[in-house]
Amino acid sequence: MKQPLLNRFIRYVKIDTQSDEASTTVPSTKKQFDLAEKLRDELIGLGADAVELDDRCYLYAKINSNIPKDHPAFGKTPKIGFIAHLDTSPSVTGKDVNPRVIERYQGGEIRLGNGYTITPRENPVLDDSLGQTLVTTDGTTLLGADDKAGIAIIMTAAEILKKSSGILYPDIRIGFTPDEEIGRGAAHFNLKKFDADFAYTIDGGPAGEINNETFSADSAVVTIKGRDIHPGEAKDVMVNAVKVAADIIAHLPRDYSPETTSGKEPFIHPHHVEGQVGKAVIKFLLRAFDTDTLVRQKKRLEDIIAEVGRDYPAAGIHLDIKEAYRNMHEVLATLPHICDYLESAVKRTGLTPKWVPVRGGTDGSGLTAMGLPCPNVFTGGYNYHGQTEWVSVNIMETSVQTLLHLIDIVVEAAPKSSLYQRRLL
């Protein structure tokens, strides 16, 4: 399995699919179709059913069940889906990715070039990766394991199902989405067309880590209107929007940021600033594991704006907050069998499953809210969204095995499960 999986992954990461937060189109970049079209053709070549790429770059496919009529599970299995996203982060370029393959990693630092190094101090999991096949960048781009590792894992599992005569499987649904990295992946996902009872996003990280809890997220934009005038005539007239923006950022609590928090601690993160004297804009990420904290974060920003505004009474300061996604845990907690299946599948691979809250979001956050429960599965990728991104092919292989075990478990459980439980949604 490993070499075909690696070859597939290398092909995918060389295709630039970076999304664009500033774009208003769907998808945000046309180049996401470059990968989607190749995947469509590959799925057709594998013999998948009902393969369809829509005009918004959502790719759907089905693998119809092969359970024989005389089997106890016939007609009783739920339809399960596997989902990954096509785009890569806008944070670092995904153009001209030059992946480097390290066979049988021997330990120590990994020098990438362009001044970047992957160190065991910052990546302690490297100590558990000895002898594994790793893929890194060359230091000039991100790698794209987020989430092309997930795509490669799903495609490899699909190929195994179609080529093996010894595996029984229920109706399988496959979905690949655009624009996940900019929070829009679930926005135009067609649940009716996908036609699954529940699904799993393959968009995680370290070996054995699985996720049924994510941040709840809002985005905030502060727009500051100043007044520009020649500096030589500025006294008592100029209103410098850049200074107002700087003061707003300076008023943020230093212990309430991504670089000072972990676990389930929330944060307010100013991630983009642009401006001139006459106008400045600050974009914030608001993140918490419960909605009440997001409400308090909005109030905190409002209080900061009011305080700074008293020092700049002639400035116009406007706050706009939009909902991004919500923690999927509340829904998944009511459907424990979906997570139980996944936990048991990880155990069958020989790994110890670890339920870890995601300090971020997945397409599963939005899809769960829309009515399609979606826990998240590990891929073996690390250091996402940057030049030091890397992935273990061995762990990708274990993720494929997890999906295959998951399929086995669903078939085994079907004769014992009530129709109500399977069709609860």
Catalytically annotated residues: 87, 180
Pair of tokens at residue 87:
């785009």
What phi-psi label fits residue 371: left (phi over 0), alpha (psi between -120 and 50 degrees) or beta? Answer: left
C-alpha R_g of the chain: 23
Neighbours of 264 (CB within 10 A): 13
Q: CA-CA distance, 248 to 223, in Å (whole number)?
A: 11
97, with CB counted inside 10 A (0-12, 13-18, 19+), is buried
Alpha carbon distance 340, 384 (integer Å): 28
Whole-Å CA distances, 109 to 32, 53, 117, 146, 346: 33, 42, 7, 22, 30
Alpha-carbon distance of 4 to 7, in angstroms, equals 5
CB neighbour list of residue 43: distance below 8 Å, 6 or more residues apart? 51, 59, 61, 155, 158, 174
Contact in structure between 292 and 298 (CB atoms under 8 Å): no
Record the tokens describing residue 250, joined without a space.
């300076």
Distance (Å, whole) CA 170 – CA 264 = 36
Residue in this structure with the two tokens 């999991």, named with its chain if needed:
125
Cβ-in-10-Å burial (0-12, 13-18, 19+) of 251 comes to: middle
How, if at all, do strands 376-377 and 198-202 pair? parallel
Q: How far apart are alpha carbons 276 and 290 in whole angstroms?
A: 36
In a 13 Å sphere around the CA of 260, the CA atoms on its Cβ side amount to 9
For 105, counting Cβ atoms within 10 Å of its Cβ (0-12 exposed, 13-18 middle, 19+ buried), the class is: middle
Left, alpha or beta for 158 (phi > 0: left; psi -120 to 50: alpha)?
alpha
